[in-house]
Structure formats: structure tokens, C-alpha cells
């Protein structure tokens, strides 16, 4: 990992270092932002580290050390400071969920790379291409909720914000030369306004892969087993898959064993899990046999025929527009915007303009073509 060009980062974990960071960032026109979360290591995911960089300094903020980060949120909401992310929709969704932040003026380097038809959109690949630096991604799946964080983990995290402003710097002239900058800025503003906060984990049998293929009886047992897994995971503060895999729950629900020894015969249930959870699993199965509960049908998420027609029409138009302009289709309009437009049945052009109010450049450029594509679905 060649990070010799990075200066030491400032660790922000008390009121004094927080005030110092805010004082510096308030004077900046650009702030690079990244986050690290613990989705693979906790029942309820949370942001565990916020990396912030200016052109001069890097800050690693420990959110566990603070009850209130509203002053930082005020910076994120300012339209005169550009916030730079890479694939920032996930970071924005997590920051909105945990801290109720709002955002304006986002520049996303992955969206920029998409608009430039870069063959590899990954952050590490772009840094290697433009700066010749190899970023080791070995801590992608690390437990960022642990404390204290290791020095090399902090150094790894620092790189993810440190190189964002330089990366924007090399992409910006290309975007301007290709007349694609406005597309990128508008997509960033759409991200800021439309990305919803991530939801906290909740129990849902239909998230168990394979549940939809079970008989009613097996589904009833799966519901009981999944509830048991959720209780154990919550108590241990781990993701449910770290208690028992989806596949193991499906196999138990299908075979409905009568004896704990039968659990050892299931291919997806290791012996160590049989030893740890065998008794609890058999208690759950026995309680289900004595009082099986019916599972409510899954809510129908199937699109209506009319919405499917609108979605197909927009997809066909978007693909052709991308070919005509030499752009990836998702740089014309994003999949999220396409789905948003397909969901609505516009009675007139003004309603389309209202639906695209956060995308005025795209409306001006593509509004007529979008409306015509949608109107053809009514024929």
C-alpha cells in the first residue's frame, strides 16, 4: 500500500479536536467524505468512522465519542461547500440514518467516471490509473466498530478520503471538455435530495433466501426458526447470518427433524453450530409442532403491466440515447430516476417537469424525448 504521500491524519475524538476540525473545514470550498460501517459485525449497522479531507488536512472522526454532530451536519448542508464522495449513495444513506444529516452540492467521482465511460469505476482502480498508487483493500470487511482501531486500519481509512479531491481534479477537466460536468453535478444533487436514510435491520422472513419456494408448512416452521435466529443475533449483537445461515434454516424447515442428531446430517449446518444451537433449535421445532402459526403472504411487489411498459420504454430510449451520445446509459438518467419516472403516469408535460424538478438540466435536454416515449406506451 503506497501511501507515503499522505500526511498524518488528525484523530477527532473529543471536543477540542472536533472544534479544531470544524474551524478548518468551515474555511474550505471542498470537503472529501467517506465512512466506515460495521454491517458485517453488528445486528444494527452504524457508522463507525467518518473520514474528512480538505486539500490540506485529513481528519478521522470517531462518532462513538460524540452525542451531537449537528455542527458537522450544518457543514454538509451548505450549498457553497462541495462534498466529494465515491459511490456516495451508501455513505449518504447511512449518515442520514444515524445523524439525520442533509446534503447539498455533492460531486461523486464514481458518477464522474461513469460519465467519462471509464472501464473500471472502482476507487482503487481509478487511483492506480491516475496516480500510480496501489491501495490495499484488505480492511474492506474489517470490524470498524472495535476500539481501539489499529493504526494500519486508520491509515487505510484515511486514503479513502485523502485522494478524493485530487481524483476530482483529474476528472473535472475531462468532464468540462466533453460537456458532461452538468450531468454529474445534477446527479450529485439528486443523490443529496432523493437518497433515503438506510433502515435499521428488522425481522422479515421474506429476506431469507429460498423462503418463497417453501410449502406453507415449511414456511411456518421457517418463521419460527428465523424468529429464534433474530433473538440470538440481537442478544449477541451480530448479523443473523453469523448465527445460522439462510441455507441452514431452509434445510431445517424442509426436513423438520425430530431428534437433535438429525441436525448433524444437514449439509449447511456445521457440527459446531449443532453443538451451540442444537438444543435451542429442537425446542423451537417442538414449540412449532405444538402451535404452528400461519405466515402472512408476501406483499406483492410486482409492477403493474402499465408500469412495466413505461419502464421498458424508458430503458429502450435511455440505451439509444447513450449510444447516440457516446455515454453509458446510466449517465443519461440513473436507474433510480428511470424507476421513479416509470412509476408515475403523467397526464401532461408539466407533471413530468415537476417529477424531474431536481434534474432541470436533464429535463431541458431529454424532457421531450422522455415524454414522447411515455406517451407511446398509452397507444
Per residue in 322-377, pLDDT (tens digit) is 999 988 999 999 999 999 999 999 999 999 999 999 999 999 999 999 999 999 99
Backbone angles phi, psi at 84, to 5 degrees: -110, 125
The three-point CA angle 194-196-199 to 5° equals: 170
pLDDT band for position 136 (cuts 50, 70, 90): confident
Can you tell me the distance from the alpha carbon of 113 to that of 171, in angstroms, rounded to the nearest whole number?
Answer: 7
Query: Contact, 86 vs 61, CB < 8 A?
Result: no
What is the model's pLDDT at position 4? 52
**Range(s) of the chain covered by CATH 3.30.420.10:** 10-194
Q: Please check the confidence at residue 2 and state whether its pLDDT lies above 50.
A: no
Count Cβ atoms below 10 Å from residue 358 Cβ, excluding itself: 16
CATH superfamily of 10-194: Ribonuclease H-like superfamily/Ribonuclease H (3.30.420.10)
CB contact set of 332 (below 8 Å; sequence gap of 6+): 318, 321, 322, 325, 362, 366
User: What is the phi/psi pair of residue 269, to 5°?
Assistant: -120, 100
CATH of 205-290, picked from 1.10.10.350, 1.10.150.80, 1.20.58.340, 3.40.50.1980, is 1.10.150.80
pLDDT in tens, 255-282: 999 999 999 999 999 999 999 999 999 9
CA 147 to chain CA centroid, nearest Å: 24
Residue count (the chain): 379
CATH class of 305-376: mainly alpha
Q: How many CB atoms lie within 10 A of CB 186?
A: 19
* Arithmetic mean of pLDDT over the chain: 95
The Cα 32–Cα 55 span in angstroms is: 9
Amino acid at each position: 500500500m503506497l501511501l507515503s504521500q499522505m500526511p498524518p491524519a488528525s484523530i477527532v475524538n473529543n471536543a477540542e479536536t472536533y472544534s479544531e476540525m470544524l474551524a478548518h473545514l468551515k474555511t474550505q470550498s471542498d470537503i472529501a467524505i467517506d465512512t466506515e460501517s460495521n454491517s458485517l459485525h453488528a445486528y444494527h449497522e452504524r457508522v463507525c468512522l467518518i473520514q474528512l479531507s480538505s486539500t490540506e488536512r485529513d481528519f478521522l472522526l470517531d462518532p462513538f465519542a460524540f452525542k451531537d454532530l449537528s455542527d458537522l451536519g450544518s457543514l454538509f448542508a451548505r450549498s457553497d461547500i462541495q462534498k466529494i464522495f465515491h459511490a456516495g449513495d451508501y455513505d449518504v444513506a447511512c449518515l442520514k440514518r444515524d445523524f439525520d444529516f442533509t446534503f447539498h452540492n455533492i460531486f461523486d467521482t464514481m458518477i464522474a467516471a461513469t460519465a467519462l465511460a471509464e472501464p473500471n469505476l472502482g476507487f482503487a482502480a481509478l487511483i492506480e490509473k491516475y496516480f500510480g498508487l496501489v491501495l490495499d483493500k484488505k480492511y474492506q470487511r474489517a470490524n470498524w466498530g472495535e476500539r481501539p482501531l489499529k493504526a494500519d486500519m486508520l491509515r487505510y481509512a484515511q486514503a479513502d478520503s485523502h485522494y478524493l479531491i485530487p481524483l476530482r481534479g483529474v476528472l473535472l477537466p475531462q468532464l468540462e471538455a466533453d460537456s458532461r460536468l452538468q450531468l454529474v453535478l445534477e446527479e450529485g444533487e439528486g443523490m443529496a435530495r432523493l437518497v433515503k436514510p438506510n433502515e435499521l435491520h428488522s425481522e422479515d422472513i421474506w429476506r431469507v433466501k429460498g423462503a418463497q419456494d417453501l410449502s406453507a408448512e415449511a414456511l411456518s416452521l421457517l418463521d419460527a426458526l428465523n424468529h429464534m435466529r433474530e433473538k440470538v443475533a440481537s442478544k449477541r449483537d451480530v448479523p443473523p447470518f453469523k448465527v445460522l445461515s439462510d441455507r441452514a434454516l431452509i434445510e431445517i424447515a424442509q426436513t423438520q427433524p425430530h431428534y437433535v442428531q438429525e441436525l448433524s446430517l444437514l449439509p449447511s449446518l456445521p457440527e459446531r453450530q449443532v453443538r451451540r444451537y442444537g438444543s435451542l433449535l429442537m425446542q423451537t421445532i417442538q414449540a412449532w409442532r405444538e402451535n404452528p402459526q400461519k405466515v402472512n403472504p408476501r406483499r406483492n411487489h410486482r409492477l403493474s403491466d402499465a408500469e412495466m411498459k413505461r419502464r421498458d420504454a424508458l430503458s429502450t430510449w435511455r440505451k439509444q440515447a447513450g449510444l447516440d451520445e457516446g455515454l453509458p446509459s446510466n449517465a443519461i438518467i440513473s436507474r433510480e430516476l428511470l424507476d421513479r419516472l416509470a412509476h408515475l403516469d403523467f397526464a401532461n408535460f408539466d407533471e413530468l417537469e415537476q417529477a424531474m424538478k431536481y434534474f432541470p438540466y436533464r429535463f431541458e435536454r431529454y424532457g421531450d424525448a422522455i415524454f414522447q416515449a411515455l406517451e407511446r406506451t398509452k397507444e
